[in-house]
Structure formats: C-alpha cells, structure tokens
Structure 1
Amino acid sequence: MPDNTADARSVPRVVIEADDPLTRDGTVTFLAADQRIALLTVDRLAEADILVMLTAVVSGKTLSAMSRASQTTGGRIRIVLVADHISEQQLALAVNHGLASFLVRPFTSFSQIAVAAVEAYQGRSAVPPVLMNLLLDRMRTMQKSESATGLLPVELAQREVDVLRLLAEGLDTVEIAGKLSYSERLIKSVIQTVVKRLELRNRTHAVAYAIRMGIL
C-alpha cells in the first residue's frame, strides 16, 4: 500500500480497511493519488487520524474493529464507515467508538469517500437524515430508561444548546450561523468547544449525548 505521508502534519493520515481485497485495493489506489490525504498502511493505525472501513454488512466484527481502533489511538480516531446498511443500535455503538460519517455503499463513489475522510478530519460529519433521526430516537429512549440513575446533565450555555438543537435538526454550520445571526467561524468554535469539554468524538456524538442526558 502506498504511503504518501510527506505532508502528514497538514492533511489527515488515513488507514483503509475492507472486507475484500478488490474493494480495499481499489480504494487505496484512488485515495493514494489524492493530495488531501496521507495514506498509511494498516500496521500504522496508531498514527492515523481517520479510519475508512468498507463492508457490505455491519456486524459484531465490524464494531469490534472500531472499538480496537479507538483503543489503539487513545480515542482519537475518527471513522468513516461505508456499508450497505446499519441498524440504529449499531449506529449508536459506532458513534461511541468514533464514527464520524456513514456512507451508503451502493451509492458512494471513491471521491465521496475521500471528501468524507477530509471532512471528518476537519470535525464535520455526514450521516443520512433518516439514520440521524433513528439515532436521536434511540438516545431519547436511553435517556428515559436511565432517568433513575441519578446522572445530571452537564451545564451548557444557551448558545451551545441552540447550536446542538439545530445540528439535531440536520442543519449545517452555514445554516446554523444564519439562523442564530452568528458567524460560521463562531458556530464551529462552539461545536469544537462542546466536543472537547464533554470529551466526545465529534458533533454527531455531541448531539447524541445531549439527547441522552435530556439537554435537548
């Protein structure tokens, strides 16, 4: 596998894992030519920023691989998953393991995978709205079932709550900035602050956490 890490400090370091050699080699060949990405071999996962996983079926093995990747990188890794389908339970678990984006395999091109990897590195996520709604519904159910545990929601500023609520509705940072009459830079800063303070993976995880804790 090519290792174009010359500019690894300014571009995401990406590892590719796939169920079959044909898919893996095709993805590696395409991404190796993309100057926005520094491709690493699988044995250098500990150094990676992004893990791209390609599988037809999301299974326990897939989720275990995500968990191992998260542990190997100290929770730093962000995962782009390309699969035919994922259940709401699997989605919730995957987010906890570092999932940043989910792409539906039959409708995804190599160029879309490259874009998702770059955007995941920049803190952006891509989850189809229908799956996001499933995730949020599941988190609301979990929040209700755990209401007797005595957990108290973390305090968030009203602006942070407003941003998370609009993220939950599927708006991007530009749309949120327009809604709240703030700059897009400020919106991104708010999201990054919340993610860092709560020690979460990404904005999708932040929304799910807020739902689970009853903040939204």
Structure 2
Amino acid sequence: MIDQANGRHSGAESTTTAVVVQADDALVLHGTTASLAATGRVEVLPAERMAEADVVVLITAEVTTGTLQAMSRVTEATAGRARIVLVADRVSEPQLRFAAGHGVVAFLTRSRTSGSRLLAAVLESHRGEPVPSARRLNVLRDQLRSSRDGAVPGEPRPADLAAREIDVLRMLAEGMDVMQIAAELTYSERLIKSVIHSVVKRFGLRNRTHAVAHAIRIGIL
C-alpha cells in the first residue's frame, strides 16, 4: 500500500527508513551516522536531502535555542512529515513542550543510549502508529522520567572503563595517533593497540572511531 502523504510503501512492504542525523559534535555525528548505516536497516541521508527523511535524529548534550530551531527547520523541510528522535542529556519542561509540538516523538538520554537502542527508536518512530499531538508531551515526559530513574540494564557505565582506557580514548578524540599516545603515556604502541582493541571488543564496537563516539555518548569524554 502507498502512503499518499510521502509516496513510500507502508505496512509489510515498507521501504528502508530514510534517516538524517544532526549533532552538535562532528565526532558524534560521524560515529552515529556510521553506526546506523552499518546496520543495513536504514538509509542514512546527507543533511541536504532532509526533505526525503522519514526520521531525523537530533543529538546534543544540552537542548538550546539552536536545537529548537533545528526542530523547526525539520518540520519546514519535510512539511511536518518527518518524525524526530531527540537524544540529549538535559532538557527543560518548556523545551520538551516545544519539542512535542514540533515533530519530536521519542526522547533518549545521550549518556545511556547505545547504537542498538537508537536504531530501535528510529525504526519504531517510523513504523509505529503516530501519537496524537495531545498525548505526545506525556509520552516524552514518561521517557524523560524513565531515563532519570536509572541506567538501562546491560548498558555500560563509566565505571566499566579503566582510567587507562579513558585516557587513551580521550587522546584519540583529540586527534592523536597510537604512536603519540604511547609516547604521552610512556607505554608501548602494542599496549595502546591492545587497550583500544579491548574496548572495541568488550562493548561490541567496530573500530576506534566508534569507540570514541561511544565514550562521548555515555558521558565519559
């Protein structure tokens, strides 16, 4: 069946979800985009193709006026069709109210959001039944309250990373290579590579870039 509002197939024959990711940190943007694209379950579009997006992911440490303006731009570019997943660590009640009225259908706490959880939110936002605007704010409030009650079971906590691992990830985030990190920490290059490999393997990540993005997302960096 064709959804007349956007020309895409709906129901069991639904096409791949088209997603645009926006973030206030270039590293987070790169890591999240790569993570979603690697799943093969969504089509990640560049920002200039916003009008084609089914879902827009907005990632920010703190919701600001710029974040709210970004929501308005999404609504304008997609004629209100695209659904927005907001990923942030801090959001106020007035901001949440604005978000509910400007296309935001899901809220995730950035420091507790894994790649798999974000993917699930994106897919559910696109394929799930639309929430009436009158109820959307209550849904977002419930999601915010749940995020504050405690960590999601199975999600890694900052304490799960050793100080040495955090130091290595921080230096990677600063653009240092393995040789520079080894010299700075007075370790061998082999040990630095081992530390990176351990973090990547333990948390099911793909590479060092994904590891840095993950550390930022859970609030370590």
Output the CA distance in 1 between the equivalents of 2:113 and 2:144.
Answer: 16
| CA distance in 1: counterparts of 2:116 and 2:140, whole angstroms | 17
Superposition pairs for residues 67-216 of structure 1, below 5 Å? Answer: 67-123=72-128, 127=140, 129=142, 131=144
Distance 1:100 1:130 in 2: 10
Distance 1:74 1:130, change over 3 A: closer
Q: Does 1:48 align with 2:61?
A: no
Distance 1:130 1:102, change over 3 A: closer
Asked whether the 8 Å contact 1:103–1:127 carries over to 2, the reply is no
1:63-93 CA-to-partner distances (Å, cap 9, x unmatched) read 0110011011001010001000111111110
Q: CA shift at 1:22, angstroms?
A: 0.6
Using the alignment, how far apart are the partners of 1:66 and 1:108 within structure 2? Answer: 20
Q: Distance in 1 between matches of 2:50 and 2:84?
A: 12
Unaligned 5+ residue runs, structure 2? 1-12, 132-138, 147-221
- Cα distance between partner residues in 2 of 1:128 and 1:93: 12
Instruction: Count matched residues.
Output: 126
Report Cα offsets for 1:17-45 as digits up to 9, x if no partner.
00011100000111011122111111100
Q: Which amino acid aligns with 2:40?
A: Q
Alpha-carbon distance in 2 for matches of 1:32, 1:128: 29
Q: Is the 8 A contact 2:88 2:108 kept in 1?
A: yes
In 2, the alpha carbon distance for the partners of 1:128 and 1:95 equals 10
9, 15, 26: which one pairs with 2:20?
15
CA drift at 1:128: 5.6
Measure, in 2, the Cα distance between the counterparts of 1:103 and 1:79.
11
Deviation (angstroms), 1:111: 1.3
Secondary structure of the 2:119 match is helix
Q: What's the RMSD between the two structures over aligned residues?
A: 2.2
**In 1, distance between residues paired with 2:126 and 2:145?**
20
Looking at structure 2, the residues matched to 101 and 107 of structure 1 have their Cα atoms a distance apart, in angstroms, of 14
What is the SS of the residue equivalent to 2:107? strand
State the TM-score, normalized to the length of structure 1: 0.54
User: What's the secondary structure of 1:121's corresponding residue?
Assistant: helix
- Give 1:131 deviation, angstroms: 3.9
Contact 2:96 2:140 in 1 (8 A): no
**Which TM-score applies when normalising by structure 2?**
0.53
Is the radius of gyration larger for structure 1 or structure 2? 2
Structure 1: runs of 5+ lacking an equivalent: 1-7, 134-216
